[in-house]
Chains A and B, each alone.
Chain A
Amino acid sequence: MSLELIILILIGSLALMLLIGQWTALALGAVGVLVLYLSKGLIGLQALSSVIWNNSASYILIAVPMFLLMGEIILRSGVSGYFYRGVVVLLGWLPGGLLHANILSCAVFSAVSGSSVATAATVGTVAIPEMMKRKYPPRMTFGSLAAGGTLGILIPPSIVMVLYGALVEESIAKLFMAGIFPGLMLSGIFMLYIAIRLLLDPTLRPVEPPRAPGEIGSTLSDALHVFPVLALLVTVLGGIYVGFATPTEAAAVGAAGAIVLAALYGNLNAKVFNESVMSTVKTTCMVVFIIIGAQILSTALTYSGASRTISEWVLSLGLSKWSFFAVLVVLYIVLGCFIDGISMIYMTLPVLLPLIKQFGFDLIWFGIVLTILIELGQITPPVGLNLFTIHAISGGYSFSEVVKGSAPYVVLMLIMVVILCVFPEIALWLPTTMRG
């Protein structure tokens, strides 16, 4: 069968499977098996079992369930609520203070929990009623929560980076460190944007002057609740930075720390623990099965020669380094409108990685840029996981209201990508200072 026809069947069947609602992991794997069979016959399928086994029994991937468990325990034990109240005390005095509190608590919290969806949901359920009561503009409220929740993918520990690092064989510790400054900077850009909007348009300011919730006099103790979660984050990242622990070990220690933290708050019981573990099972299986499905597809692409043909075709276009990069950005923005970040990485990189290397991009730097583009995919319609989450808890506002509120943050993320192109050191400096 000709290669063109195989590529056509591949794209057609994958699009059909995804459109009719096939589970993404199974769509990738099934199309992979089909392409393997069409190009190499039954012999091609012999490779399947090794692909499946090697992608599940990997030491690096152990970090995934451990980071997930850490986040689940923190989320389900209600520690998040305390943390948000603490941030409100610290930032509540600013004009539009609760919007800033949303960005900051989402940034820190999604970093710890590793899930932007869960973070948006958790902070959102506490923040939205509070902010509606104070007459905050709904659009800005939803935007700050949806966009704030994405920051944790960039600020380590980040599961997306673990998966990217495992695929391109770069140091996950270095990727984590490279994400810190861009993550903090993007948070700063979000807060700056909110401040400027409120300054330019006084009608957006909440009518009631923001005050810290809770009893007067309890503010100081409320503010102290910021520290346990921050301490956990610093311990995990610090351990990786000084080389005391591998990312996998730091993840396990972080999960143990989360259990201790939940116990100290008196919120650890069998129900919280069991639900956290079973939820970890579900998310881990979902993530790893997407990887397995995508790796079957990518094996098929390699065996059939489609990968090489596509690479050669792109090279024959004679693009410059940065026009190639611009095409990549557009590709990921479009893909991000429809599919999740992990599928996006594992579907595209096996084909694109040789090209990215050929054009001379630093793989750590590219990982950070890719992570920002994945964040962006979480708040672009029609399929944006954070948009769905915030819409679900918005209390009856329309989906388009959430989309419009999040749109400015898409632009801000693209600005961050441009900044990283001009000043790659923002990402690449910190990893160079690591020991070992």
Chain B
Amino acid sequence: MQSGSPPDKDTSTAPDTAFGRFALRLSNAAGVLAGLCVVGILVLVCAEVGLRQFKRSMLVADEIAGYLNAALVFLGLAYTLAHGGFIRVEVVYDAMPQPLKLLSRWVFTSVAAVFIATILFYAVQHVQYAFVQDTRAVSVLDTPEWLPQSVMVIGLAVLLVQLVAFLVERVRNVP
């Protein structure tokens, strides 16, 4: 890193169970895919701007870039969590004595896991419905909606695996 770069906040510690290592690898792999989505959006949008100079258009750039952005968000969730990217109010937490800190971590990690499991459940239903009813996007591509929406399910599932891994490791590695 250059001397002028901002300090990175990455407080993750190495997992010490097989499941923990599996979860982190999964989160990182999904994170890399999310990174590829960033590059994809960049290329796609710039290409569309370039084509417009020649009075042409791909017609589908906006739609695909939107899907890539959703993919970026969902695939990146677990990676962001594992590497301490989600912000939280730390003022009170930092001042807590150690046992209370541990209790807090148990409580908020469990609540997070239940919350993500809940929205994952409804996301699965949503995608199932879109698949069975064969709902389509109103666009040139006529995209079946379940296709891009599946990424939402995959990303939330990876996030849930990461949260469960934190619980399995007795919340030692919560960033």
Q: Which residues of A contact B (CB under 8 A)?
A: 17-27, 29-30, 33, 45-46, 48-50, 52-53, 56-59, 61-62, 65-66, 69, 75-78, 80-81, 115, 117-118, 121-122, 125-126, 245, 248-249, 251-253, 255-256, 267, 271-272, 274-275, 277-286, 288-290, 296, 338-340, 382-383, 389, 392-393
Contacts and interface: CB of A to CB of B under 8 A. Distances in A.
Interface of B: 1-8, 31, 34-35, 38-39, 41-42, 45-46, 48-49, 62, 65-67, 69-70, 72-74, 76-77, 79-81, 83, 85-93, 104-105, 107-108, 111-112, 114-116, 118-119, 122-123, 125-126, 148-149, 152
Contacts, number: 211
B31 A281 contact: yes
Most buried by A among B34, B119, B126: B119
B69 A279 contact: no
A21 B90 contact: yes
B119 A21 contact: no
Nearest to B124: A49
Contacts of B86: 23-26, 285-286, 289
Contacts of A26: 86, 108, 111-112, 115-116
A285 B73 CA distance: 5
Secondary structure of the B contact surface, majority rule: helix
Contacts of A339: 89
B49 to A, nearest CB: 5
B92 A21 contact: yes
Contacts of A121: 6-7
Secondary structure of the A contact surface, majority rule: helix
Contact of B5 (A52, A56, A78, A255): A78
Nearest to B118: A33
B4 A80 contact: yes
A311 to B, nearest CB: 27
A420 B66 CA distance: 36
A280 B46 contact: no
B107 A252 contact: no
B82 to A, nearest CB: 10
A3 B87 CA distance: 31
B138 to A, nearest CB: 13
Nearest to B53: A244
A340 B90 CA distance: 12
B85 A282 contact: yes
Contacts of B152: 49, 52-53, 56
A383 B89 CA distance: 8
A370 B91 CA distance: 24
Contacts of A29: 115, 119
Nearest to A255: B42
A59 B86 CA distance: 23
Contact of B38 (A56, A281, A289): A281
A49 B125 contact: yes
Contacts of A65: 38, 41, 69, 72
Contacts of B107: 20
A23 B7 contact: no
A121 B125 CA distance: 45
Contact of A66 (B2, B3, B45, B112): B45
11 contacts: A17-B111, A30-B112, A48-B119, A49-B125, A57-B67, A59-B62, A121-B7, A249-B48, A279-B8, A280-B38, A393-B7
